[in-house]
Structures are given as structure tokens and as C-alpha cells.
Structure 1
Amino acid sequence: MASQFYRAAREAARREVPLLAVGNLTAKEAARNLAARLAAEHKLTHIVCRNGARVPVQAWAEAAALAKSAVAYNAGTLNRTAEAGVRHVEVFDGFDCGWLTHTDLDKANGTVRSVEDAAGAPISHPRCRRAFGPRPDLTSV
């Protein structure tokens, strides 16, 4: 039963979240549509996470939409940075946010990373506010 709900949630997300990329919706609007679709078509009010936590479908949809839009935004920044021949970026993130996970001891904010490293960690957790700024002034770190 749980796997059916998970598949339903992913299927609905595949329909709603791509609209972010074409500029038709904000992440909040996509989340609202996703939550409404899950409630109407699948009678879902909560999503059960891997750790067993029951999360309201609206909160889950918002986190999913924000994460997907953040990853897409950062991928675009990194792709354009690489196309311009820039090899390093500065990381802008929450003060205590880790590089690979929120609790990672390798703190991300204010660090300089290669474009390749940044592409491997576009965000570190749901609702992550990570962004990258190209550093054309740096040729090696």
C-alpha cells in the first residue's frame, strides 16, 4: 500500500513540477497544485517518510517543489558558468549548512568549490537555500 502511495506521489509530481522550468508556476503554486492533485485523485492527506514521520501532503509537496526548483536553478547557473570557461564558484548557503547534508561538518557557506564539485551537491537538504556565484577571477584554488 505504501509503495502505491509513493508511486502516486511521484507520478503527480512528474506532472506538476516540470511547469516550474517553463516559468508557468512558482514553486509555491506547483506545490499547491501537487497537493491538491494528491488529495483529489489519491485521497492522500499525509506522506509517510522513510524515517516513519507522517508529513502533511501540503508540506511534502512544498518541500519537493522547492528542492526541484533549487536543483534546476543551480544546474542552470553551473552549466552557464562552465560554458563561459569559469572553473570555480563561491557558495552562498545557510550559515551552518553542511556541504553534503545539513549536519555535515564541511560547512558550505562562503567556500570556493570547483564547478564539478558544486554540480555534485546542488543542495544538501530539502528547503536548502544554496546558490552559486561564478568566480572568473580564480584560476586555481
Structure 2
Amino acid sequence: MDKILGLDYGKRRTGVAISDGTHSIAFTRNTISFNKEEAVLKEIEKICKIENVSKIVIGLPCNMSGEYTPQTEETLAFAERLKKHTGEREIEMFDERLSSLQAEKALVDKKMKKYSEIDSIAAQIILQAYLDKHRS
């Protein structure tokens, strides 16, 4: 069964989450930390092939009133570049407001010390919200 990939894009780190085959549950996968975006794009392409990904959901960072910010524009530009690497896979943007705050709270609630996991937890929160919204 195909899966959906969730991304929390950042200049230094990109959090990754993956759905199960029924598109019901999102799981953290890893955080990609690279200096060069080309390496991030190749790693995402590799994950898509290994996990049989049919769709990529990228968190769209807007301010609380829904207006675009410089980070929003950077994320949209990244999505366009990612399209060139992932072929036929659909890429969808999804509102990520408050996902990082929820991820930080999850780390505190679980008494986790790996702050580096925050990006993959944020990706999981984004993807789970997407899956919940699109559940048929």
C-alpha cells in the first residue's frame, strides 16, 4: 500500500514523518540535517522510493492570522524544487500553525531530552492533522 510523507521544512533541519498504509496513523521517521539542500532533496527522494510514497505533505508556516511570512515563501520555493526530484508524486501544502509548539509540549510531556527530535515530531503532528482531516 502507498504511504504519505509529512515534512516540516527548515533551512538547517527537515523533520520527516510517514503514514501507515491505510493513511490513518502518522509516525516520526527522522530529521534530515544537511548543509546543502541538494542532499535533503536526494534523501527525501530515497525515502519516497523505499516507503512507496504517493503523496508528500509539507507544513506551510504562516503567522497566526494566516498571512504569509518569509519562511512561508522559502517553504513554497522548496516545494517547487522538491517536485523536480520526486516525479509524479503529488505535493500538498498543509497549515502547520502551532505544530512546533505542540511538538515542544510533547517533548516536555514525555520528559524527552532529545530536542533534535522536535522537527520530526512537528512533521508527525502536521501529517496526523492532514490524515485526520482527509479521513474518509
The TM-score range, normalised by the shorter chain, is under 0.3
RCO higher in structure (CA 8 A, sep ≥6): 2
Query: What is the TM-score of this pair, normalised by structure 2?
Result: 0.27
Please tell me whether Structure 1 or Structure 2 has the larger radius of gyration of its CA atoms: 1
- Of Structure 1 and Structure 2, which has the larger fraction of its residues in strand? 2
